[in-house]
Structure 1
Amino acid sequence: MVHIIERTTQAARQRLSSVLVAPAPRAVDEAWRRFSRRWPTTDLATPPEGSGLRAVRGDYGPPVVGHLLDYIRFGTEFGRERYDRYGPVTWMGAFGTRVAVVAGPEATQRVFTNADKAFSQAGWQFLIDRFFHRGLMLLDFDEHKMHRRIMQHAFTRDRLAGYTHQISPRVRATIPNWPTQRPVRLYWLLKRLTLDIATQVFMGGRGGSTDTERINQAFVATVRAASALVRAPLPGTRWRAGVRGRRVLEDYFAQHLPAARASTGEDLFAALCQATTPEGEHFSDDDVINHMIFLMMAAHDTATITTTAAAYYLATHPDWQDRARQESLALGDAPLDIDALDNLDTLDRVIKEALRLLAPVPLVMRKTVTDTDILGHYLPADTLVALAPAINHYVPEYWTDPDTFDPDRFAPHRREDHRHRFAWLPFGGGVHKCIGMHFGTLEVKTILHEMLRTTHWTIPHGYHIRWDNTSLPVPSDGLPVHLNPL
């Protein structure tokens, strides 16, 4: 099955990403960077006369595509260069429109706190509504508040403890069966595992193993469609693949909905079906399906990315791998419960640092619903806004040697993440902060803990990872590692 997954996913990724993210000579990268800087700087919009506001400066980039290909190629590195050149509020072209880009803790705070309700989730709707329609992240204001209140009943401490109890046996049964005689592409092994976990924890085991690969491909298609250059369901396009993937997911959850409604199980599907506020608010069938599609995507994609990043940094820093392993081995062979996972301090710091260096969701979308400003820069109504919290993770005013892997920056005596409330934002911020962040952290810890207990892993000599930013960041080559049994 692993070989099938690797062949399928690699074939699906060969088109645009093979050109945009494949390793290239340094001269090619430098030529690309020079090309991305050649466009004339202009104003996003003219501030109202007498307002005292400044225009947002930036450039569109190449015609039609704008700077989308630059972002796919260089990701946060591209954003950091723009931040240094233009400051915390700038604009660029992408998707055939102008997009304001906001970065830095102060500017981010202005948008996430949203005191004047000038910023809506319509930015996400522009990108992904066709594929993740009415997921929690796409809802606004009072409606979002109501849905979040209901959903919180599925993420209580007791529920999380129950989910953890289900995760640990699946992880322990899977990782020892990973190949050790040859290098493997770790990302794809982890993606299969996190989808298996989501199927168990979220679906209560509903849906057999024959569904797993079909559902996995549907999720991959829907996520990658969000950044499609051609945003119409034409044959051979990512957009069309995403539309078909959405249909597969709707049918899948609708098929299993009656059983989830009748269930008293501890899975998330049943929890969403049964969740009710004291006022009697509950989810309709359509609500449950929409939320399940979004939550399963977010849960297994972000957990896979975070675990992959942490594993990569542990491979490049074997001293930290050994340090984390000693802590895990000291806990013995018993499966971990939620309290034991909370006490894996070294692994906690490693995961936080991996999230800093590679935010699994590097951009957060909004749209202005009225004229407003950010740090004195004028943004007219109906402006697409991309927050870039991943850039905040590298601002040197808040982070010591920000390009260095240093988990101890999260140690109690340093806590560099406390230097500003919006300096470290791997889970977003404000009222839309990720509702599943504690579940995700517990899942990543469980997987890495089991890897540390059973293997020591290495990467090829001189290897440096390149992230494909076509949608969420994933390693362009799947991250080759050699798992050595302890």
Structure 2
Amino acid sequence: MQPRIEAAVASWLAAGRLDLHDAARRLTLDIASDVFLGVRDAGEIEAAHHDFVQLVDASAAILRLRTPWVTYGRGLRARERLAAFLRARIPARRAAPGDDLFSQLCVLRDEDGLAFADDEIVDHMIFLWMAAHDTTRSAITTLARSLALAPAWQQRLRDEVLAQGGAGEAPSVESLAGLETLGAAFKEALRMFPPIPTLARQLHAETTIDGHRLPAGTPVTLFLLAVQRDERWWPAPDQFDPERFLRADPARHRYAWVPFGGGAHMCLGQHFAQIQGKAVLRALLARARWQLQGGSAAARMAFAPIAHPPGGLPVALQPL
């Protein structure tokens, strides 16, 4: 990831002013395409981005018609294009696999010699390709926004990064893990703005919630955003305060912070996302200060279908 991150941050500094939300989208999609699919062609990546935008929009569509002139229908067509792109490349990946996850799924066999069917590989990779960049972009954007609005915290994190070596040192996994305050700031940004604000589940067994009996099979929606801003667990919940994650709080419920879900359906990509996010912010903190442009409108946030600034995140970067 690091060469792409270094090149991206250098281009951001050269621009001086940019939409950091869009810039983070391009970077995280490039990284996800390379690491998980071995795809590096800029034209193919940009076409995939166009399709993912339509696919995500379709997931929240109310009018579920398959016609191509409504949001849902456009999303279905976008998914068909993504599936065709992946399916056409499966034979070549089986014949000459690379070290990306797409190749490994194409050649994987279990102890009985069973392999994934082509449709299973396509389904896995469409979801993974989308999840590996869109949610990470959201986390990078919301932390960058929070630090622009809290310059004292931005400087505190910069001091931590520079104490470790700063821009001249290529980070390792171990050194990124050592950035404890930056890690706490990421957790706080994910608490305030979980990329996925709700989760859908189905009860396997009958249960009672607040005196209401719910039979097995009941569909339920978990509102992560409400839980993570609940005053029972989070004093001053609307305040950006990474200190919450630098001190132990034995009274806090174990599921009061769940941006990656929990239980059997815990996000498989949580560690990758956190390492990538810390690497991007580390590179940015080591090279620049930034502040929001555009007044109060630039600070607005939306939460559906994924947490994002609806007008982008216009920032001005000042090299150190």
The answer to whether structure 1 residue 315 and structure 2 residue 181 are counterparts is no
The answer to whether structure 1 residue 186 and structure 2 residue 40 are counterparts is no
Shift of the alpha carbon at 1:285? 2.2
Distance 2:126 2:294 in 1: 40
1:21-60 paired onto structure 2 within 5 Å:
none
Distance 1:286 1:181 in 2: 42
8 Å Cα contact 1:180/1:482 also seen in 2: no
In the alignment, what sits opposite 2:270? Answer: 437
Listed one character per residue, the Cα deviations across residues 145-168 of structure 1 (whole Å, up to 9, x for unaligned) are: xxxxxxxxxxxxxxxxxxxxxx11
Q: Structure 2 vs 1, CA of residues 219 and 331 (structure 1 numbering), >3 Å: closer, same or farther?
A: same
In the alignment, what sits opposite 2:33? Answer: 199
The answer to whether structure 1 residue 255 and structure 2 residue 57 are counterparts is no
Distance 2:114 2:226 in 1: 39
Sequence identity percentage: 39
Shift of the alpha carbon at 1:365? 0.6
In the alignment, what sits opposite 2:243? Answer: 408
Q: In structure 2, list runs of 5 or more residues that go unmatched.
A: none
8 Å Cα contact 2:18/2:316 also seen in 1: yes
Q: Which of these two proteins has the greater Rg computed from alpha carbons?
A: 1
Shift of the alpha carbon at 1:417? 8.1
Give the counterpart of 1:421 among 240, 247, 254. Answer: 254
The answer to whether structure 1 residue 347 and structure 2 residue 187 are counterparts is no
Distance 1:441 1:417 in 2: 24
Amino acid at match of 2:248: R
Listed one character per residue, the Cα deviations across residues 324-371 of structure 1 (whole Å, up to 9, x for unaligned) are: 112222333232121111111111011000000001111001235676
Q: TM-score, normalised by structure 2?
A: 0.92
Listed one character per residue, the Cα deviations across residues 439-465 of structure 1 (whole Å, up to 9, x for unaligned) are: 111111111111112221101375362
Root-mean-square deviation (CA, aligned residues, Å) is 2.1
Shift of the alpha carbon at 1:468? 2.8
Amino acid at match of 2:259: P
In the alignment, what sits opposite 2:55? Answer: 222
Listed one character per residue, the Cα deviations across residues 186-216 of structure 1 (whole Å, up to 9, x for unaligned) are: 1111001100001111112x35211111100
SS of corresponding position for 1:202: helix
Listed one character per residue, the Cα deviations across residues 87-144 of structure 1 (whole Å, up to 9, x for unaligned) are: xxxxxxxxxxxxxxxxxxxxxxxxxxxxxxxxxxxxxxxxxxxxxxxxxxxxxxxxxx
SS of corresponding position for 2:238: coil
8 Å Cα contact 1:399/1:416 also seen in 2: no
SS of corresponding position for 2:286: helix
In the alignment, what sits opposite 2:283? Answer: 450
In the alignment, what sits opposite 2:10? Answer: 176
In the alignment, what sits opposite 1:156? Answer: none
Shift of the alpha carbon at 1:302? 0.4
Q: In structure 1, list runs of 5 or more residues that go unmatched.
A: 1-166
SS of corresponding position for 1:365: strand
SS of corresponding position for 1:408: helix
Distance 2:251 2:217 in 1: 34
Q: Structure 2 vs 1, CA of residues 330 and 386 (structure 1 numbering), >3 Å: closer, same or farther?
A: same
The answer to whether structure 1 residue 471 and structure 2 residue 275 are counterparts is no
Give the counterpart of 1:374 among 209, 212, 220. Answer: 209
Shift of the alpha carbon at 1:276? 4.3
Distance 1:445 1:383 in 2: 38
SS of corresponding position for 1:373: strand
1:234-313 paired onto structure 2 within 5 Å:
234-278=67-111, 280=113, 282-313=115-146
Q: Structure 2 vs 1, CA of residues 256 and 264 (structure 1 numbering), >3 Å: closer, same or farther?
A: closer
Amino acid at match of 1:485: P
8 Å Cα contact 1:363/1:388 also seen in 2: yes
8 Å Cα contact 2:6/2:283 also seen in 1: yes
Distance 2:221 2:89 in 1: 36
Listed one character per residue, the Cα deviations across residues 227-259 of structure 1 (whole Å, up to 9, x for unaligned) are: 112111234211011011101110111122223
Amino acid at match of 2:226: I
Amino acid at match of 2:118: D
Q: TM-score, normalised by structure 1?
A: 0.61
The number of residues matched between the two structures is 317
Distance 1:334 1:408 in 2: 27
8 Å Cα contact 2:13/2:288 also seen in 1: no
8 Å Cα contact 1:455/1:484 also seen in 2: yes
In the alignment, what sits opposite 1:459? Answer: 292
Distance 2:262 2:112 in 1: 27
Distance 2:41 2:89 in 1: 11
